[in-house]
Each structure stands twice: as structure tokens, then as C-alpha cells.
Amino acid sequence: MTRKIIIDTDPGQDDALAILLAFASPELEVLGITVVAGNVPLALTELNARKICELAGRPQTKVFAGADRPLMRPLVTAEHVHGKTGLDGPDLPEPAMRLQDQHAVDFIIDTLRTKEAGSITLCALGPLTNIAHVLIRAPELAPRIREIVLMGGGFFEGGNVTPTAEFNIYVDPHAAQIVLQSGVPIIILPLDVTHKALTTAERVERFRAMGTRAGDASVALLEFFERFDEEKYGSDGGPLHDPNVIAYLIKPELYRGRLCNVAVDAANELTLGMTVVDWWRVTDRPKNAFYIRGIDADAFFDLLIERIARLP
């Protein structure tokens, strides 16, 4: 039984690898890709999503543009990390496939309404603006969502865009609050786990050895994307964030975490976007998220590499 997913994304080199992994994995059925402003503005993230679909040999995939800005905050982007196109590294051709006319939020709402209740998983790889819009406009649909699996937040590891905040949550903390308070089962893959999944030289060489279009593009994506974090952390390779969302769906046994309360600061400038994780359960706040801290990093890269090697 394949798992039906919608990927909400702001590509983004790491988003690209997550989407490639999803397409290469028969356990998953990608019903559509919804795009949000984040790493770069919406006009670029939607173009990048279509480029990635064609790179994967999946031009029939439905790509929907969504929110071009956060719920309340001004848009903050990350060209310094992802390059001015948001997908710097490989030289991918202009896509022939077109963008869907329907708005991303309408697509998610329609899909939740028409598919079997509890059969749809939302995979969030960027700011949570689109998903928050769904929950604001149609709160009655929350019980129909099987799970929201998201890359975002950080607690023991601190932040990556401020000392306390991770980028996806920081860009739209109000959207994150709405998602965390929705009552939908939530799985969080934060910096605490993605910082243990480093794109070391040895691992990048395994992509290069594929000798495929997807393998070569992955090398170019990783070598561009990792440079910023190698410089920042002085590490061999950079943390690979978004593919962990998809890998979790395929092999959850690679991960370790616990159900606990996760809250977001959406009010204070100093700690805006901070995910406050009650890991030691010192409060009686509701255990609203499965927060992941542990990973078998070697097995994660084995999975990612084995699957992407299946692509043309």
C-alpha cells in the first residue's frame, strides 16, 4: 500500500534531493507538489520545483504555486545559502512542463476533501505558510490529515538563521504556531537531527559514481549547498536537511525521538521563531509533536544514494 503524500516545498538544493528521493521511492505516491516562498521568492521556488520534476523524469507531476509571503511577517529569503536562483549548482534547463492554475492551498483543501480521510500525509520542507492557510480556511479538515512531517526547528542545536531559530520556522512563526496547535499528528525533523547528516566528501563521491543525470545534478546541488555550512561550522560537508522528511516516511526506524510539547515564540524579537521543546516533560503542556533527535546517518545516506541511483 503506497503512502499518498503532498510535498510542500521552497526549493532549495536540499528540497530538490528530498523530491528526487520521493520520486525514486515506490513506497510513496506524490499527489502533487505545492510551493511556498522561502529560500527564494515564490516565482523562483515554483520554477525550481518544475525543473526538479523534469530532472527526475516526472514532467507529469502537478506543481502548484502557493503563498508568496508569510502570514504576518515580511518574507526573509536565503540567497546567500542557495544562490540567487535558489537552485544554484547544476545548470538545469528551463522546464517545458507548466505550472498548475489552481492555487496550492486550494489543491491541498480539495485533496483532503476528496481523498479518504486519514490517507494524506503533508511533507513540509519550507515555511509552513501554505499549510497554515489550509488550517485557517478549513479547520474541519485537520482530522482528515494523516500526519504532517516537517523539517524545521531546533532546540539542543540552537538555530541557523538566528542563535535560537531555524529558517523554516523563523520565516513564518505564526504559521508554525497554527500547525503545532492544530491537533494533527506532527513529526518534526529539526536541526538536532539534520546536523548529524553531513554531506561528507565520501558520501558526495558516491553520488558522482552514479554517472547519471540525477547523480551528477545531485553532486552539483550538494557541492554548492554545503559550501556555506562548511565555512560556518568548519565541518566536512554540510547538514542535509529536507531529505530526512522523506527518509523518515520510508524508514522511520532510522530515527529516534519522543512525543513531547513543542511551542514556537512568535512574539519576541530576540527569540522569534524559536522552537521551545519540553523534551524532559517538565510542564503539563500537550505532547503535540514527535520530536526527532537521533539518526543512523550511514543508513540514511545508503537509502538516499540507493534510491537516487534509480533515477535516469
The contact set with ligand RIB (CB under 6 A) reads 10, 12, 14-15, 38-39, 125-126, 151, 160, 166-168, 241-242
Question: Which amino acid appears at position 50 of this protein?
Answer: R
166 binds, among ligand RIB, Ca ion, none (CB under 5 to 8 A by kind): ligand RIB
H runs (alpha helix) in the chain: 13-23, 42-55, 79-82, 104-114, 129-137, 167-171, 173-180, 191-194, 201-208, 213-233, 243-250, 297-308
Residue of 5, 6, 7, 12 interacting with Ca ion (CB under 5 A): 12
Q: How distant, in Å, are the alpha carbons of 213, 274, 285 from that of 241?
A: 22, 17, 28
Annotated catalytic residue within 82, 174, 195, 241 = 241
Shortest distance, CB of residue 125 to Ca ion, whole angstroms? Answer: 4
From the CB of 110, what's the least distance to ligand RIB, in Å?
25
160 is in the binding site of which of Ca ion, ligand RIB, none (Cβ under 5 to 8 A by kind)? ligand RIB
Decide whether 16 or 141 has the Cβ nearer to ligand RIB: 16
CA nearest neighbour of 69 among 127, 136, 148, 1: 127
**Could you tell me which residues come within 8 angstroms of residue 255 by beta carbon, excluding any fewer than 6 positions away?**
189, 193, 244, 248, 292, 294, 295, 296
Q: Is 82 a catalytic residue?
A: no
Backbone torsions φ then ψ of 279, nearest 5 degrees: -60, -35
- Residue 150, H or E segment: strand 145-151
Q: How far is the CB of 134 from ligand RIB (least distance, A)?
A: 19
Beta carbon nearer to ligand RIB, 15 or 278: 15
Cβ contacts of residue 26 below 8 Å, gap of 6+? 2
Report the residue from 125, 178, 245, 305 that binds Ca ion according to the rule CB under 5 A: 125
Judged by CB under 5 A, the residue of 8, 15, 229, 265 near Ca ion is 15
Identify the sign of the CA torsion 153, 179, 130, 148: positive
Considering only residues 207 through 246, tell me which ones interact with Ca ion, judged by CB under 5 A. Answer: 242
Based on the shown chain and the rule CB under 5 A, indicate whether residue 126 belongs to the binding site for Ca ion.
yes
Q: Which residues are catalytic?
A: 241
Give me the residues that bind Ca ion (CB under 5 A), please. 10, 12, 15, 125-126, 242
